Structure 1
């Protein structure tokens, strides 16, 4: 009996992106990249990525891991307390983030913050309190926010609109919902970030939404090491693989991938002040 052949997967360089762009949301300080960060960064450059947003999940992660990127000036920073960690939040976290944003010019947005009702790890009222606390901090610091919302879109939007965040700088991280949700986000003047699952064959709802979202209000992300796009689904995600997401979205929108990549890069530069 012959052995089953390993699946041959195309490299992201084959997408042919040849203009500089932005991968807006990565977790490169996680253990998954401990052994090969230099190689990961090199592959990203080969795939047209000029800037990468690294997301630190809380002040401790920021203080411990920011030095990992001393040799990579192309990396900018996001910092916030994830809703699944909201039960550990203290006033000291608020002060630590306030100090960090005032002293580190690489910090460009407060996030990812929001609500997560999928995992049900933290009571909803605790999540909401910490969410509002961080919105207040972002308002005080005059920085954009990046939203995490999983199985909580209606409540997240309710909190944001009640707070008065309409028209203020906001990026909806990892958007994968329907046209109606996309429209409400757009009507508030916000941006949407498109991740790898839009490449999945059965993800028709998100694909229809992507057709609806104007390119001028869209950016790309991997959320690596999670949410790997096809054709590398099932493997560790990394910034270079955002090329496959861009290619799929370009196909859905009937656009040239380099044209779309350039538009979304400008959006990211404008939103984060890069």
Structure 2
């Protein structure tokens, strides 16, 4: 009954054994996944994978690292693809100040344009944030992104910003870092965020949870994230699975 809200099964790391990876996830109780596409290469494959499996869905957007490469026709293309029956969100989008490929002002423009797109098609958004929390929150407020809401993907910041995002109508999604021994903020967030606003994810193939840290991540490992959240909140893992599954289905409009 696990819903992994953010996977990159369209990544090169899964080209040789994607079907086996999906089967391992099913064996661990993963019932739903969203494959996230973020450029011209990964978006079509995200949709292709979603078309192959009833329980897999897709998100389409443009990654901030590559914002400088985005053209007007790319934005139009994403808007057209948003009408596909298996597309449930726009993203991932946002700001990434760790890498310097795309200037900050370009990233902000692309971010704002995608929020506007999501509002036109009335779909939730998936936010990528790396070292840019203050600017992201400011843009979400200015663009009234709460009208569509969405996900703060792989949240790894302090609880005060999480509460600001919650006030804007966003969900907080926790991934592998909540299991890391040296990670404090995600653990506090896991205990402070209302359960009806909490989601879980792997962001595979990245950020594998303990004890698989440093290895290729995969959707089956989302169970380790749920187990840690259950432990931190003194809950049964079955309750965490049930609640986060329901939260994701409601947000994405999945029956």
**Same-fold call, TM cutoff 0.5:** yes
- Which one of 179, 187, 194 corresponds to residue 167 of structure 2? 187
Q: Are 2:244 and 1:264 equivalent residues in the alignment?
A: yes
**Alpha carbons 1:59, 1:97 under 8 Å: kept:** no
Q: Are 2:12 and 1:27 equivalent residues in the alignment?
A: no
Match of 2:191 in 1: 211
Which runs of 5 or more structure 1 residues have no equivalent in the other structure? Answer: 1-19
Match of 2:232 in 1: 252
Match of 1:84 in 2: 65
TM-score of the two chains, using structure 1 as the length reference: 0.90
SS of the equivalent of 1:175 reads coil
Match of 1:138 in 2: 118
Structure 2: distance between partners of 1:191 and 1:154: 17
Q: Are 2:19 and 1:38 equivalent residues in the alignment?
A: yes
**Alpha carbons 1:110, 1:144 under 8 Å: kept:** yes
Which runs of 5 or more structure 2 residues have no equivalent in the other structure? Answer: none
Q: Which has the larger radius of gyration?
A: 1
SS of the equivalent of 1:166 reads helix
Match of 1:4 in 2: none
C-alpha deviation, 1:57, in angstroms: 1.2
Structure 2: distance between partners of 1:180 and 1:148: 18
SS of the equivalent of 2:146 reads coil
Q: Are 2:95 and 1:118 equivalent residues in the alignment?
A: no
**Deviation readout 1:94-129 (Å, 9 max, x if unpaired):** 111111112x11000000000001122211000000
Residue 235 to residue 162, structure 1, CA distance change in 2 (3 Å): same
SS of the equivalent of 1:177 reads coil
Residue 251 to residue 147, structure 1, CA distance change in 2 (3 Å): same
C-alpha deviation, 1:195, in angstroms: 0.7
Structure 1: distance between partners of 2:76 and 2:40: 10
**Alpha carbons 1:146, 1:171 under 8 Å: kept:** yes
Structure 1 residue ranges (4+ consecutive) displaced by more than 6 angstroms after TM superposition: none
TM-score of the two chains, using structure 2 as the length reference: 0.96
Q: Are 2:142 and 1:162 equivalent residues in the alignment?
A: yes
